[in-house]
A and B are shown apart, each in its own frame.
Chain A
Amino acid sequence: MVVLLDDNGESIFDIDLTSDHEREKHINQMLEMLDANDIDRLRETVLCTSDGLLDNSVRKRAWPLLIGQDTLLDMHMKESVNIKEQDSKESSITRLKHQIEHKDAEQVLKDVERSFIYLNSIPDQQNSVENNLSFLRKRLNKLIIHVLNAIPGINYYQGYHDVASMVVLTFDNDYEAFRFLYNLTLRYLRDHMMTNISPTMKQLDLIPELLSYNDYDIYLILKTSKPVYALSAVISLFTHDITNINDISLIWDYIFACDDPQLVIYIYTALLIYYKDDILVDLNEMSDSSIESSTYDSDIVHVVLNNFIKTHLSENSIDSKLEVNTVLRLALDLKKKIPLSKLKSFKNISSFSFLKSKSTSITVLILQIKEQKLQDTKIQKKRYILKTLNNNSALIKREIHRSPMIIKASLGICILGIVMHTTLKNSGVKLGITNEVTRNIHIIWNCIKDNLR
């Protein structure tokens, strides 16, 4: 029996699932909750036991409900896909077959061909035919392309295929897999599928800040590196970094039971805290210096953190379950203690992000995509203006040298006027661009002064 003890040495979990009988009983209880559509009780049950949903037979039914699929599906399907409820499950997929092409199809295929290599246990109920790798990969490819085609404006990313692999292994029915991944994408992954990865990077910035509130020592060590190390774990909902399918299932049980994508950030931070000592050992081992130090090269920090989950989450399934359980408890505690909304970097995140808005409406998604594009255009424009300003100031400087005195003088007065106007209006420091304008005007003004002398 897996028993976790709290600080007082008392068991955290009260259900003993050692015996097959107890296990079966517990599964039946959860199935009954599903029959009664008592989702709240199911959530509670998952969050207060150490075994999650225990079995794929439960997961297949529970996960879609836990992520809120039942109420949303009809609306979505009407909004975006031409799938009708009355269609038979198989024919719906056939109907989508003509949509097999997608701009990211080539990349998807490349990743699908490298899928299912780490998953060390395939669900029991799948027969030998279904375990066939090429069969699984065909299903995976189709599934990803169908979902990408069904949701307008989203982009595929490497790591999404790892998430989809888990879905393929859990749902042996193609239509159920499609429905689930469709909803999962809108509710838990959409930020990572914008035109570029800047919304994802903003999410990753939450991790070191969250860590700083919990373990300042490790925060100081890790802050030398940008949180790119967390990228694969976060965008793949841990499927890229964890090899044991049971561990991933348990983590997903908790995330979905919490009905909160924010938990992903908390779980990653909890992993850092849980494996802190191992991380420190790795850092010392990788560092050239033989003296133990509290500062490490940012490259070393990156590579150690990029690999710590793979390296340290135990291969042994009993041990790893114990570790995952402890991490999940820690994550839930962190969530209670520090709401993400308290963090400074939370302000940088779009209000359409899944971390802030539970909405899974396609309309909201389209707004989110538009906002993102607008921001990108702004950044590009700003870069362009700065570049042009720098080029132009050099050009103007040259021209001024050549112009007659009267033009120099009038130009000087004109520029002085602009400077005063800008200074009064923006206090001269409000925006980077304003600073740049002011700086360039200064250069030109000095140049005129020199010439007037």
Chain B
Amino acid sequence: MSANKGKAFDKSMKLLMVGDSGVGKSCLLLRFVEDKFNPSFITTIGIDFKIKTIDLNNTKIKLQIWDTAGQERFRTITTAYYRGAMGIIIVYDVCDQNSFDRVETWYKTVQQHAKEDAQVIIVGNKCDEEDSRVVSTQQGEQLAKSLGVPFIEASAKTGINVSDVFYKLSELILEKSGDDFQQPQSEGNIDVSKGNSSTQSSSNCC
């Protein structure tokens, strides 16, 4: 568990990861936070979070990233956490057509339960597995474009683009909400330089 004593950060953000069971939500999070990978990672039951502090435009941001169970059964529990999230990561597995087909349903659930200004990003995980891939990068891009959200392909296994997912989403939140969100007490006005990153940009992975 990470200790956050003494306020080693300027701002804090709550992010939430959703998507079908087995797409690799927990693996992406583990790669990002601890730079580890376990091919058969334990299933997530209920909801859990990990913390990582990142440096973005000279601002130290504490990310509290919620990881949710993918099984439909647990949705009544997990949707309760949508409202507190400033950013939501919808993950699918590029080797699993069903998980991709359900991205739109996830997006609707997000719209229904999250705050209006919550930022969303779509992530196609396992992009290193070219042989088993069934969803092309273009399909992912198209879907993201139709929903008006950014898109990234990543791989928790190789680590490619994993940090980008979280950095990009954090950047978006900073851009959209400026200084409005929760700040730790007595922090001065930090001039958040508005980055040039486009909300519609998409990056290919492998």
Contacts and interface: CB of A to CB of B under 8 A. Distances in A.
Interface of A: 106-107, 110-111, 113-115, 117-118, 155, 157-159, 161, 196-198, 201, 228-229, 231-232, 235-236, 240, 282, 285-288, 290, 299, 302-304, 306-307, 311
Interface centre among B6, B7, B51, B77 (most CB of A within 10 A): B77
A159 B45 contact: yes
A240 B51 CA distance: 22
B181 to A, nearest CB: 15
B64 interface: yes
Nearest to A243: B42
B37 to A, nearest CB: 13
Given A158-B73, A159-B43, A311-B1, 17 more contacts: A113-B40, A114-B42, A117-B40, A117-B41, A117-B42, A155-B73, A158-B21, A158-B44, A158-B69, A161-B43, A282-B1, A286-B1, A287-B4, A288-B4, A290-B5, A299-B49, A303-B49
Interface string B152-179: 0000000000000000000000000000
A198 B4 CA distance: 35
A228 B21 contact: no
Contact of A232 (B1, B38, B45): B45
A228 B77 contact: yes
Given A236-B45, A303-B48, A231 B77 contact: yes
Contacts of A111: 21, 43
Given A158-B45, A197-B77, A290-B6, A114 B71 contact: no
Interface in B11-35: 12, 21-22
Contacts of B6: 290
A231 B45 contact: yes
Nearest to A116: B40
B48 A306 contact: yes
Contacts of B190: none
B122 to A, nearest CB: 21
B47 interface: yes
Contact of A288 (B7, B47, B98): B7
A107 B84 CA distance: 28
Interface of A is mostly: helix
B3 A286 contact: yes
A307 B71 contact: no
B3 to A, nearest CB: 5
Nearest to B184: A288
Contacts of A228: 46-47, 77
B128 to A, nearest CB: 18
A287 B4 CA distance: 7
Interface in B26-83: 38, 40-49, 51, 64, 69, 71, 73-74, 76-77
A303 B48 CA distance: 6
What are the nearest 8 A-B pairs in CB distance?
Answer: A232-B45, A110-B22, A231-B46, A285-B3, A114-B40, A158-B71, A117-B40, A159-B45
Interface centre among B5, B12, B46, B74 (most CB of A within 10 A): B46
A451 B41 CA distance: 66
25 contacts: A106-B98, A107-B21, A107-B71, A110-B21, A110-B22, A110-B43, A114-B22, A114-B41, A117-B41, A118-B42, A158-B21, A158-B44, A158-B74, A159-B45, A197-B77, A231-B45, A231-B46, A240-B43, A287-B4, A287-B5, A288-B12, A288-B184, A306-B46, A306-B48, A307-B1
Nearest to A240: B45
Given A114-B42, A306-B46, A307-B48, A285 B1 contact: yes
A337 B45 CA distance: 31
Nearest to A111: B43
A78 B64 CA distance: 53
Contacts of A290: 5-7
B21 A232 contact: no
Contacts of A236: 45
Contacts of B184: 288
A235 B41 CA distance: 19
Interface centre among A197, A235, A307 (most CB of B within 10 A): A197
Contacts of B43: 110-111, 114, 158-159, 161, 240
Contacts of B42: 114, 117-118, 240
A111 to B, nearest CB: 5
A353 to B, nearest CB: 18
A111 B41 CA distance: 10
Contacts of A306: 46-48
Interface centre among A158, A229, A235, A302 (most CB of B within 10 A): A158
A155 B47 CA distance: 20
Contacts of B38: 117
A299 B1 CA distance: 14
Nearest to A235: B45
A168 to B, nearest CB: 16
A285 B5 CA distance: 7
Contact of A299 (B2, B22, B45, B64): B64
Contacts of B46: 228-229, 231-232, 306
A155 B40 CA distance: 24
A161 B26 CA distance: 18
A110 B23 CA distance: 10
Contact of A157 (B1, B2, B71): B71
B73 to A, nearest CB: 5
